[in-house]
Structure 1
């Protein structure tokens, strides 16, 4: 049972960030999915670190894993199921199966724009099989995350309606796909209209973007897990800037309605521990 009423739940942090800090190579287009394929014990160990830090929810290493991407389709279903199993082996936290945008499968920077040149029907087709596998793999819910455009939100909402699996939907608030006035608010409403969606919100954005984004959301449980404030250069594949302490602003996200709170890129177990301490106090 997923209880968002008793207290806010703490999400984990940047899985790819932690895997890299543990000495793993995440520089390829597969990012953390490369470790999932080649060294699953490292993924389990990273999950364990986040759980020990106080995470109530572990998000699986399936963000870049999908049919029609860089990984041969013959391997995809095995890796999707493995991602859930590895998180499930950590006793205690809920397991949210990560569903990244189509752009994450392409590894070309389009996950920050949503400019794929695809229509709703094509987007539904690209997401359908992965959603079905993850729904059957034993996770507690789906983490539909970092979605960069209203069109992809629409496609995912239609697929989630037919799936019958609880999910949260989190949008990439800094994406150029949401620069038009009202686009983010409309997409949040679209996601929240699906009965299976238990919370909506934003991730993979700057901490300063969270509160304005949540203010555009409908009156439902919300999700907030931004990056630590550094800026990702998709061409150079590197980060610029200084990190921000997420725990200082996390209570304000809860006051705005967030019930699932954590960190995205660059956030570490130390950040999650600090968020957990701030929220529990």
Structure 2
């Protein structure tokens, strides 16, 4: 694998799903956050495995710890403690591995993944994202991910920009190449570009959708990337089901994933990693493939904003 770029940002893989899979006796709408509340050692172990695999930007385990989702599950009063525990889990992993990595704050969809545009105002959404940014302000970078509409993306970008640290925004595409909201990729990138993120990416798409879209994304923004999932389908979760109902694709091996990533990098991507069902083994394959051909860096090192 020999991408044109001299430096590649390597994120971790499917953190939440890897944590959830290892805690076989826990089932909850709060997903990996529920695991962290009961078995924080699992979270630390997963972080450590991704660090050992070669990832140099790791995301906090707070994907479902949004005000709305915690409120619905009777855990809003624990929001501060959950974010504190997420930092501790990742810091313990860095201590255990003797490796410093970029800590990425997580700014996810506020109400659930794979949904369309929420019936909320920009100001309302921005207020909730500002709360999450404040709770994660000591992170090195902010990662806005799995965005399915430009309204939430705008609100998250506006809140993240106020922190004054590097941040990236990542959209989730449907099989037709557009967002769940019906907006185009070009519209999404144009909206994000107004806030000058460090990178604009695609995530939680299947390999085929991301591979098809990458050349267009490269043409739309100076620094881009992608990290796919390996689910058979996400429809059950999109319709309100638990992640327990999701099934992993058996055909997305580390080598298969690596071949797709190679194509994205050859197209011009400079950030990669993995989403749900992309394991430490997949990330290790990528890191080994990059070895002696490019420098693996953290997101904070990617460069000045355009």
> TM-score w.r.t. structure 1 length?
0.86
**Stretches of 4+ moved more than 6 A in 1?**
none
Secondary structure, aligned partner of 1:144: strand
> Whose relative contact order is higher, 1 or 2, with alpha carbons under 8 Å and at least 6 apart?
2
Partner residue of 2:206?
206
Q: Is the 8 A contact 2:202 2:225 kept in 1?
A: yes
| Aligned pairs (5 A) from 1:1-281 | 6-70=6-70, 72-89=75-92, 90=94, 91-104=99-112, 111-135=113-137, 138-174=138-174, 178=179, 183-195=184-196, 197-217=197-217, 218-232=220-234, 233-234=236-237, 235=241, 237=243, 238-240=245-247, 241-244=249-252, 245-280=256-291, 281=293
Secondary structure, aligned partner of 1:116: coil
Q: Is the 8 A contact 2:115 2:148 kept in 1?
A: yes
Q: Structure 1 residues 231-240 or 10-19, which shifts more?
A: 231-240
Q: Structure 1 residues 210-219 or 120-129, which shifts more?
A: 210-219
Q: Is the 8 A contact 2:122 2:152 kept in 1?
A: yes
**How many residue pairs are counted as aligned between the two chains?**
268
Q: Deviations over 1:46-78 (max 9, x none)?
A: 100111111111111011112232253321112
* Partners of 2:175 and 2:109 in 1: CA distance: 12
Cα gap change, 1:163 to 1:184, in 2 (>3 Å):
same
Q: Deviations over 1:212-238 (max 9, x none)?
A: 333333232112110025212223642
CA-CA distance at 1:208 after TM superposition = 1.1
Secondary structure, aligned partner of 1:68: helix
* Partners of 2:206 and 2:191 in 1: CA distance: 23
Q: Deviations over 1:140-170 (max 9, x none)?
A: 1011111111111122222233232211111
* Partners of 1:88 and 1:258 in 2: CA distance: 29
* Partners of 1:213 and 1:55 in 2: CA distance: 24
* Partners of 1:148 and 1:175 in 2: CA distance: 13
> TM-score w.r.t. structure 2 length?
0.80
Q: Is the 8 A contact 2:13 2:274 kept in 1?
A: yes
Secondary structure, aligned partner of 2:103: strand
Structure 1 unaligned segments of length 5 or more: list them: 105-110
Q: Deviations over 1:82-109 (max 9, x none)?
A: 21232233123221111111123xxxxx
Q: Structure 1 residues 60-69 or 17-26, which shifts more?
A: 17-26
* Partners of 2:127 and 2:116 in 1: CA distance: 16
* Partners of 2:202 and 2:75 in 1: CA distance: 30
Q: Is the 8 A contact 2:104 2:142 kept in 1?
A: yes
Structure 2 unaligned segments of length 5 or more: list them: 294-306
**Structure 1 vs Structure 2 CA RMSD:** 2.3
* Partners of 1:48 and 1:6 in 2: CA distance: 26
